[in-house]
Each structure stands twice: as structure tokens, then as C-alpha cells.
Amino acid sequence: MTVSTVLTWLVVIGGLLILMKPLGIYMYKVFTFQPTILDRPMKPIEGLIFRLLHVSETSQMNAVEYGVAFVITNMLWAVMAYTLLRMQGALPFNPNHFGNINPQLAFNTSASFVTNTNWQAYSGENTMSYFSAFAVLQFLQFVTPASGAATGVAFVRAVSGRGLGNFFVDLTLVLTRVLLPLAVIFGLIFVALGVPETLGPYLHLHTLNNQSQVVPRGPIASWESIEHLGQNGGGFTNANSANPLENPSALSNIFQAIAMGLVPVAFFYLFGMFTGKKRLAWTLIAVAGTLYLAMLAMIYFPEMAGNPIINALGLHGHANMVGKELRFGMGGTSIFETSTMAFTTGSVASAHDSFLPIPSLAFFLGMFLNMVFGGKGVGLLNMLMFVIITVFLMGLMVGRTPEFLGKKIEAREVSLASIAFLLHPLLILAGAAIATATPAGLAGVFNPGPQGLSEILYGFTSAAANNGSAMGGLGASLPFYEVALGIVVIIGRYASIMAMLLVGQSLLRKKAVPETSGTMRTDTPLFWGILLGSIVILNALTFFPVMALGPIAEHYLLMAHHVFS
């Protein structure tokens, strides 16, 4: 392991740990309506928005009202995006004269971006006008992660006994107090590091060998800022953060990795502030952090060891740099890819199709779990879903009524949490099964053998987890995948969040139970181990069979020097 790798990892992980507490405290003040440094510039804007929406800071919704407001608002944004994409050719800020988006792609793109997935079945620099990129897609990159974060705030309020709050108030505050200020800061950082920000047309250049080349440009710095802060992941260009226009240096790569995790990690500390259970919050942070480091090791060390077939030729000591950017090195690439899978961002700084099977398994792990910090608010929801299931299982083992935050966990809460948990593998496995059983699905597979199955699984896993990244060897632009993945991202986004909002309301209505000597503690190293074990075992039982046919089978075949052509 090189010094640059160690320093890169220390800067990213250390930066997140240092910034987590102050940002978590700041967010706690925002969502409990305490004075903050941004009151003077933002309160007039927020007051105007609240008057237009006929809401106030004291407005309250129940879980159904909150969830319906969340879903309907998102669906209206999706319809708006679909309509504007279908009209792209007639809209302004189109210096490259791109035409209208076809119906299937417009549906897939609007569904993907409105669910904070940002799966892209197109090449951005060759498809989207500046209006589509800036006024449609970048607008969604602000409001859709903000709406997901609002549901996380509502759940945390509910389990802390404060009521869910009002969706439109929370949505506004996430935008004005969290995402917009941070986006301005990171946007300026990226401009300073060489990322372009312009509305000028693409550059047509002549190369040294007398050839012509088109260099795409646009409002990329502002795009990169909210792309990573909002765990959006959709690239302005097809190569995403592997493109030097989006991610020009090792330093910009570090800032993008920090931007991905900044708000999701702070949400875990926010949970501790709201509930007054900071030790529990640190326990959850430790569980997610352990899984993060495990993913990082699974990506870095096999890639550094190199391809066993190449090593058998006597070329030992050569890392598997296929599909990697030399300016980041293996250390920078590994921390970026770990972050994008852990925080469900979906942006890529390398070609995922070129990774060895064990690192690919780490990518799947991040999306299967969907709570290694995860997206802002939603990742915390998924973590607490596992906490509720684990507490229930512990209660069964010791013969006591399970409790969480002083509230009894009973059939309703466990049923709703189980629905949220089981929906995720159902979407992945059912979608992949349909794709492998139909000619339309198999038509998009470009790689033979286990890798081809992994490509299909990756596509549906990325959609269900609202991640949006792709291995790259799947025909995602085919109508079958445009429609199928569009449906999966919608169900995967809204059904589980609705279930967890109902869990929050159910716990809110329960009377607190006094803690006794028989109460199972959830803020101890013992619970850390039990929770971690429960997460791993539940997901292994669910996904190991299909993984045995994909990355695991490919790994053993690779060790036997078997290749597919």
C-alpha cells in the first residue's frame, strides 16, 4: 500500500468524521427551528414559500398524509420532466441542436432522476441540451434528494416523540439550509480545481495529427456539486467522474468522495441528537463504518493483487489497472468506488465492468445492504429497519418483549419493517429472472458466462437500490430495460419509504416503557456485533444463491484460468 493511498483514505474518512458532528448539530438546529447562521438570507425566501404553500413550521401531517405528499409531489416532477424531455428540440439553450428524447428513454430518465437514482440509458454529452441538463435534470438533482431527506427527518422526529412534521416545510428546509449552501461551496471548489462551468457551445478543435475533435463542455462544476452532495450520480458526460472534465485530478476526486458522504453520515449523528441517544448513534455509525471498510478492502486488495491469469504469465506485481484512471491511482479509485456504492450515489470514476469478481461482489454488497450510510435520510431509514428486525429477533431469542427507544416493538412494526426489507430482493430477483427468461432481456447481454448474469443482476440491483451506476456491459438503452428498470426504480423508492413512515407513526403513538434491568441495550458493543451479524446473515440468505452463479462462480473460474469469449 503506497503512501498516497494511505493519505487519500485518511483525508476522505477523516474529513467525514471531522465534519459529521458540526453538520449534524447544524441540521438538528435547522429541523428543530432553532436560530442558525443562515436565518437572515434564507428566512424571507422560506417565508414566501410557506405562504404560497399555505403551511407553517408548526404544521403537522400523519404518516399517510406525509407519504402521499411525498409521492404526489415526486410524480408531478416526473410528469414535468417527461414532458420537457419530449419537447427538448423546441426549447432554448440547445446550441448543439439535440432533438426530442424518445418516449421510452424520456420515461426511463424522468423515473430515474425523480427517484434519486439517476440511471442513465444515454450518453449525456450527445443527448441532453443545456436546458434539459440544467433546468430539468439538475433541478431534479436538488429536489428529489431533498424529498428523500425530508422523509428521514420525519421518521427521526416520530421515533423521538415529536410528530412527523410537514413534508413541504422539511423539503424547503433541506433545500435552503443544507443542499443549496453546500452546493455553492463545492461548486466553487470544483471550479477552482479546473471543472468547467459555461453555457457556451461545444468546442471544435484540431488535434496535432490534423484530426478534428469535439470537446463537450457546459455547466459541469455546478452539476458535479449537487450530483455528489445529493447522492444523484448522473454524469454530465457518459464517462461520468472518469472524464477529466468532470473530475480532473486526484484532489477533485477526494472532494467528490467527501461530498458523497457528508450529509448521509451527518444524518446518523442527527438521529442521536433528536433521540438523545448519541451512544446508539455511534453504534450505528460503527456498524456502517465496519461495512464501509470491508467494502474498501474487498475492492482495493484484489485489484492490487492483479488478474491471476496475467500473474500466471510471470507478470507479478502488476495491479489490475484496466478501466482505471492513472491520475487517481488504485487508492483513489478504490475509495471513490467504495463511497459511490456505500452512499448509493452511483457516479463512477472507473469502468465497473473491468473490475475483478471480488470487487464486483463488494459493489453488490453496498447495493444489497443499501444502508452503509446510504443516501441522506433514506440510508438511515434502512439502517433503522434492520435495527427493528434485529431487536425483534433478540427478543425472540431471550423470551422478552423487544423494545426500541423505549417503545415496544410488536407485530405491526415488524410486519412493516419486513415488507420494507423483502421488497428490495423481490424487485432485484424477480426483475433479473424475467430478464434472463425472455429474449428481450437476453438481447441486452454483451458478455457471456457468469459476467453476463452479473450484468443483469447489477442493473436491477442498481435500480432497486436507487443507485444508478452500471457495469457497462448491458444494453440499457433497449426498450425492455428502459421500461423495466424505470418501473423498478419507482417501486424501490416509494414503497419502502412509505412502510417506514408508517413504522414511525406507529412508534409515535405508543406509550414509552420505562427502562429496567431486563431492557435489551442497543448502544453497546454487544448490540453492534448482533446487528452487524443480523445484517450480514439476512442478506447472505437472500442473495448468496444468485451471487454463487455470478461473481463467485466467475472468481473460481478465473482462478482456474478459464476465460469466456
Chain segment 339-376, per-residue pLDDT in tens: 999 999 989 999 998 999 999 999 999 999 989 998 88
Per-residue model confidence (pLDDT) at position 199: 81
Residue 217 confidence (pLDDT) above 90:
no
- What are phi and psi for residue 529, nearest 5 degrees? -65, -40
Bridge partners for 197 per DSSP: 219
Bridge partners for 474 per DSSP: 445
Share of the chain above pLDDT 70, in %: 99
Q: What confidence category does residue 205 fall into, taking pLDDT thresholds of 50, 70 and 90? A: confident
CB 357 within 8 A of CB 321: no
Range 526-532 average pLDDT = 93
CA 90 to each of CA 86, 87, 93, 97, 469: distance values in angstroms, whole numbers, following the listed order:
9, 6, 10, 9, 30
Per-residue model confidence (pLDDT) at position 316: 66
- Residues 22-72: tens digit of each pLDDT: 999 999 999 999 999 999 999 999 999 999 999 998 899 999 999 999 999
Residue 276 confidence (pLDDT) above 70:
yes
CB 346 within 8 A of CB 293: no
Range 466-484 average pLDDT = 87
CA 148 to each of CA 71, 82, 152, 160, 458: distance values in angstroms, whole numbers, following the listed order:
10, 20, 7, 19, 23
What whole-number distance in Å separates Cα of residue 416 and Cα of residue 62?
16
Per-residue model confidence (pLDDT) at position 565: 64
Range 309-322 average pLDDT = 81
CA atoms 404, 407, 409, 414: torsion sign = negative
Query: How much is the mean pLDDT over the chain?
Result: 91
Query: b/e map of 35-47 (b: 16 or more CB within 10 Å)?
Result: eeebeeebeeebe
Quote the cell numbers at residue 124: 449525456
Per-residue model confidence (pLDDT) at position 211: 85
Quote the cell numbers at residue 528: 453492534
- Residues 141-171: tens digit of each pLDDT: 999 999 999 999 999 999 998 889 999 999 9
Q: What confidence category does residue 517 fall into, taking pLDDT thresholds of 50, 70 and 90? A: low
- What are phi and psi for residue 219, nearest 5 degrees? -80, 65
Record the pTM.
0.94
CB 513 within 8 A of CB 403: yes
Per-residue model confidence (pLDDT) at position 400: 73
Query: b/e map of 249-280 (b: 16 or more CB within 10 Å)?
Result: eebbbbbbbbbbbbbbbbbbbbbbbbbebeeb
